[in-house]
Structure 1
């Protein structure tokens, strides 16, 4: 008999799912019945929070939703942090959990893994949460999930299946389609696109602001910038949308003074797929970002068009389809707008706000990038990531992302890098600190188990260094920030990694190039309490 659990596996495969991240438990055994004979790879994490982060990293690199199987109760509460991170960063994630049998939901009778309202709990960190009460609902609810991923602002979706339904017969369910119907989101209204083209063509000093929502238009971003002769600011999740050497590209954060001056001086600004949110535009929370020019916004989310800085002209639609339609109406470059000169002046002054330590960290990151030009950088919340968010120049889209913005989950780096490595042919560099990596340290085992092509650069400053600095700056005696840390090199070797320490005077470029040739993952620990270790790298 084909069960509902087996049917689900076949349906996921039909939607193109090739990887599931999960931790089997007695409440999800039936979800695994058909998995062994399917073409779907299963990746077992050591903790549900980590498997959510792995799915997140996988989704960011592949562009496909990360799919997770978790048990009832603690499985869902554990993954909720990762769902919150994905929700904040608009990452497609499908979380399928068990739930107690029909008739026992929320009974309060003490059933194993029981929550008073598991559906209600998951709803707070997802686009929607649905409890399957009849097998016939499954095809529809999965179609709804992929409609969110394909045609709306992508965010996690939670589907819970009662234990008795997982093992129920699927014989009455419709045949699995060879190609399920999928949504293709369209462009904004033609009248709005025409008006936007007029505004942009009449602009004297146009500017592009690209956010993570513009990634789908990565093949058109440079053409749009060149057509407008517009300097192009790329937020953290949009880094690399213009090549590193593009004369119009700007990878300095809008939180930097030079970029803010450029924005304030621009008469028409086109913002695509960006929240214009605090962690990109006001990282220091000083309220210094202003956008006085006319603002055109393109976004798939109608509410987002009016959050933070309301649009003067709102284009509701898919980023790629809308940019393609806009390009059809924009004339070839003819006017001289001095875009490259404006961008160059901003790049030259972009680092003026950065401390010497931040500039050292940026130089270090760019050395690693130049040594591994195809690498993807996945970061936790740690010092080098903060510096990179302010000015790292990525070589390609989807090659710089981290959890230090938005929801800001510690422990993200290592598992997300594992997920990214499973979705990429290129090496993945994980930037982590000694505090953050201990949240999810056990995923060293998952990296070896999956053969992830991974290099961890572990900055060890003996604790939560950034929080300690914030305490001292605020006149608060540091408490709880100096940590006992293990011998990371020995620990990594015990998990089957190659591990070594970076010493002052070594060449980080040589170390990472050699690491990229190994069949096993590599951890390079950097003991650096005052920033001096990385000078000269």
Structure 2
């Protein structure tokens, strides 16, 4: 019989895990003892938060849950931010940690890495699982697997007490996938058939349902509004509207429709009310599809269908499409782009040029101005190829680690990390991780010597700009210290420079200094 640690690693292998991101510590030695020979690649970041962000980026590209292996106590608390980001975007990541011996828990005895209740820290973000008996390990792993692979996914924390790491445990088997709900689409189909001006709003739940979404849109003659996490679907399609419902032009399209179909979107404010105006159209007549029953209960809808979009959408095809869908979509695209501030229009033009110079690349962003602009309006050419931390939880420092994870998930893909100097300095050490792993990631750093987006928000609010001008390092020297080639680029020559070489490398674009705002 194998140990708990060996059984856990065996289960990860059975479930198809190929890469683990982690920093070893004295509390996880038994887990690391089990790794050699398992056929799982271990990648060492420089910070546990980066391990979580790498697992997130890996999961988004591989379509498999990512795994972060962290130490007890500070490793877990450092992983909280990426867990929260993953929860906001429905990304499955498994955080495995140790925890102190069972006989010491909750007693405040001052053991190394001690927390009063470690599981209580993570359970607000998702399932927090604790192994109390080695015999219960297979069931606990099944619980974790179901949470990661069915329904609305998100982060899961599994903690193993130190006194159980080397204990003997029964073998774990492959996860039995639960049967998906089988909703009856008849009423929804009838409503769609009667619609003369339908509109579809697609969210991240459509990432794997691109062909089904496009086929239904064409059958309905319906414009398709793509939220941030749906970008890359239906690229350049005449029915696609790659623009945020936060824009008045997109809201007008929704308001003027006679049937709204919402597929795989939580309808969160960072997607549909970025400016917090509260002036959304009435959505109560919508038909809503989501894999999460709890999510369907959060907004009133005329009809709800619970299940996988890939299975439900083909069952909704009406008999005759609306005649003017492409025209309505084109008018909305034009009006939405015109609505953007001039500087955001320039950012979108730059994104378009980068995309055209690097077809089918992965664009991984931080909370930085170009990502904010793209989330408002931008059409990517690859499903799941545009993602960032500028919506949802909004974790600054996300981009570097997530880009590393994305590159490991698909080594043949070109990966472009779009970050600012502020976000870069949260986790600059991960540049060296990209070097260690020899990853094709181009880190594009838009350097304005501070937190430009926040400085502009403070100025627009009439507040004195304070705390937004931390100095940036010499990017050439930083790149050299990390072993990366360095290039200084202007915005006009950035697409050519990014397309002409491979990573890991750092490209700096100087911008107007925050102190000049």
Q: Distance in 1 between matches of 2:322 and 2:49?
A: 51
TM-score norm. by structure 1 comes to 0.93
1:498 aligns with 2:481: no
Query: Is 1:29 aligned to residue 12 of structure 2?
Result: no
Post-superposition Cα deviations, 1:376-407, rounded to whole Å, max 9, x if no partner, equal 11111011111100111111211111111111
In the alignment, the residues of structure 1 paired with residue 6 and residue 151 of structure 2 have an alpha-carbon distance, to the nearest angstrom, of: 28
- Alpha-carbon distance in 1 for matches of 2:366, 2:321: 43
Q: Map of 1:20-419 to 2, 5 A cutoff?
A: 20-126=20-126, 128-170=127-169, 173-174=170-171, 176-177=172-173, 179-187=174-182, 189-190=183-184, 193-242=185-234, 244-291=235-282, 294-307=285-298, 309-327=299-317, 330-331=318-319, 334-419=320-405
1:456 CA drift (Å): 1.2
2:456 aligned with 1:469: yes
CA contact (8 A) 2:152 2:291 kept: yes
Q: Per-residue CA shift, 1:280-317, capped at 9, x if unaligned?
A: 1111111122135720000122221132x421101112
Task: State whether residues 297 and 315 of structure 1, in contact with CA within 8 Å, keep that contact through their aligned partners in structure 2.
Answer: yes
* Pairs within 5 Å for 1:443-458: 443-458=430-445
Matched-pair contact (CA < 8 Å) for 2:65–2:149: no
Contact 2:198 2:260 in 1 (8 A): yes
Which blocks of at least 5 consecutive residues in structure 1 are unaligned?
532-537
Unaligned runs of 5+ in 2: none
Task: Work out whether residues 264 and 293 of structure 1, in 8 Å CA contact, stay in contact via their aligned partners in 2.
Answer: no
User: Deviations for 1:331-373, whole angstroms, at most 9, x for unmatched residues?
Assistant: 3xx3443110110111111112211111111101110000001
The secondary structure found in structure 2 opposite 1:27 is helix
Deviations 1:48-98 (A, max 9, x none): 011100000111111111111111100000000110111111110111110
Q: Which residue of 2 aligns with 1:522?
A: 505
Shift of 1:34: 1.7
Query: Which stretch of structure 1 is more off in the superposition, 285-294 or 439-448?
Result: 285-294
Quote the offset at 1:180 in angstroms.
3.5
Match of 1:534 in 2: none
Asked if the contact 1:378/1:431 (under 8 Å) is kept, the reply is: yes
Tell me, what secondary structure is at the counterpart of 1:103? helix
TM, length-normalised to structure 2: 0.96
Tell whether the 8 Å contact from 2:146 to 2:175 is kept in structure 1 after alignment: no
1:476-525 CA-partner distances (Å, limit 9, x unpaired): 11111111110112211221111111136x5222201112xx3x412110
CA distance in 2, matches of 1:453, 1:116: 42
Q: What SS does the corresponding residue of 1:241 show, helix, strand or coil? A: strand
Alignment partners' CA distance in 1, 2:74 and 2:115: 9
Residue 478 of structure 1 aligns to a residue in which SS? coil
Q: CA RMSD in A?
A: 1.5
Moved over 4 A (4+): none
Q: After TM superposition, give the deviation of residue 472 of structure 1 in Å.
A: 1.3
**Contact 2:55/2:405 (8 A) holds in 1:** yes
Residue 509 of structure 1 corresponds to 495
Aligned length: 513
Return closer, same or farther for 1:289/1:7 CA change in 2, 3 Å cut-off: same
C-alpha contact 1:186 1:321 (8 A) present in aligned 2: no
Shift of 1:167: 1.1
Distance 1:26 1:293 in 2: 54
SS at match of 2:506: strand
